[in-house]
Structure 1
Amino acid sequence: MLDPLNDIKDAQTLAQAIVNTIPEPFLVLDEQFRVMAASRSFYETFKVDPAQTSGRLLYSLGDGQWDIPNLRLLLETIIPEKTSMDGFEVEHDFPNVGRRTMLLNARKVIYETGTSATMLLAFMDVTVRRGIERDREALQLQTEELLRQKQVLLDEMQHRVANSLQIIASILMLKARAVTSLEARGHLQDAHQRVMSVAAVQQHLHTASGIDQIEVSSYLSQLCGGLATSMVGEGQPIEVKVIADSVTIPSARAVSIGLIVTELLINAIKHAFPKARADARVLVTYETEGDDWNLVVSDNGAGKPENTPPDNGLGTAIVKALVAQLEARLDVSSGPAGFSTTITHATFTSSMPLAR
Structure 2
Amino acid sequence: MAAQPPTESEDAALSMTMAVVASSPAPLLMLDGTLNIVAASTSFCAAFGIDPATAPGSDVFALGAGEWNIPQLRSLLDATVSDAAKVDSYEMELRRPGCEDRCLVIQAQRFAYLDLEHTWLLVAVSDVTQARADKRSKDEALAQNRVLLQEVRHRVANSLQIIASVLLQNARRTPSEETRTHLRDAHNRVMSVAALERQLSAADDGDEDVPLHAYFTRLCESIASSMIADPDQLSLAVEGGDGVVPARVSVSLGLIVTELVINALKHAFPEGRRGKITVDYEFRGPNWTLCVCDNGVGMPSDPALVHTGLGTSIVQALAKQLQASVEVEPAHPGTKVSIEHTQIALVDDDAKPPRPALVVERPAA
- Return the TM-score normalized by structure 2: 0.57
Measure, in 2, the Cα distance between the counterparts of 1:182 and 1:319. 26
Q: How far did residue 217 of structure 1 move?
A: 0.9
The 1:140/1:196 distance shift into structure 2, 3 A limit, reads same
- Residue from 320, 339, 345 that aligns with 2:341: 345
Q: Are the aligned partners of 1:302 and 1:335 in contact in 2 as well (CA < 8 Å)? A: no
Q: Are the aligned partners of 1:304 and 1:339 in contact in 2 as well (CA < 8 Å)? A: yes
Measure, in 1, the Cα distance between the counterparts of 2:338 and 2:52. 82
Q: How far did residue 243 of structure 1 move?
A: 0.6
Give the corresponding residue for 1:193.
188
Give the corresponding residue for 1:294.
289
The 1:138/1:304 distance shift into structure 2, 3 A limit, reads closer
Measure, in 2, the Cα distance between the counterparts of 1:149 and 1:21. 46
* AA partner of residue 67 (structure 2): T
Post-superposition Cα deviations, 1:171-199, rounded to whole Å, max 9, x if no partner, equal: 32222223222222222222222223322
Q: Are the aligned partners of 1:201 and 1:254 in contact in 2 as well (CA < 8 Å)? A: no
Structure 2 residue 303 is the aligned partner of structure 1 residue 332:
no
Give the corresponding residue for 1:239.
235
The 1:310/1:138 distance shift into structure 2, 3 A limit, reads closer
Q: Are the aligned partners of 1:265 and 1:297 in contact in 2 as well (CA < 8 Å)? A: yes
- Residue from 245, 258, 274 that aligns with 1:249: 245
Counterparts of 1:125-274 in structure 2 under 5 Å?
A: 131-132=102-103, 135=129, 142-143=137-138, 145-206=140-201, 207-210=203-206, 212-234=208-230, 237-274=233-270
Post-superposition Cα deviations, 1:234-259, rounded to whole Å, max 9, x if no partner, equal: 39721111112221222333222222
* AA partner of residue 283 (structure 2): T
The 1:284/1:190 distance shift into structure 2, 3 A limit, reads same
Q: Are the aligned partners of 1:300 and 1:338 in contact in 2 as well (CA < 8 Å)? A: yes
Q: How far did residue 277 of structure 1 move?
A: 4.9
Q: Are the aligned partners of 1:302 and 1:336 in contact in 2 as well (CA < 8 Å)? A: no
Farther-moved stretch of structure 1 (333-342 vs 137-146)? 137-146
Post-superposition Cα deviations, 1:247-281, rounded to whole Å, max 9, x if no partner, equal: 12223332222222212211212221224455x11
Measure, in 2, the Cα distance between the counterparts of 1:150 and 1:235. 40
Aligned residues: 256
Q: How far did residue 46 of structure 1 move?
A: 8.5
* AA partner of residue 263 (structure 2): N
Q: Are the aligned partners of 1:297 and 1:340 in contact in 2 as well (CA < 8 Å)? A: yes
Give the corresponding residue for 1:45.
54
Measure, in 2, the Cα distance between the counterparts of 1:208 and 1:104. 41
- Return the TM-score normalized by structure 1: 0.58
Measure, in 2, the Cα distance between the counterparts of 1:270 and 1:339. 13
The 1:247/1:90 distance shift into structure 2, 3 A limit, reads same
* AA partner of residue 228 (structure 1): A
The 1:240/1:102 distance shift into structure 2, 3 A limit, reads closer
The 1:169/1:214 distance shift into structure 2, 3 A limit, reads farther
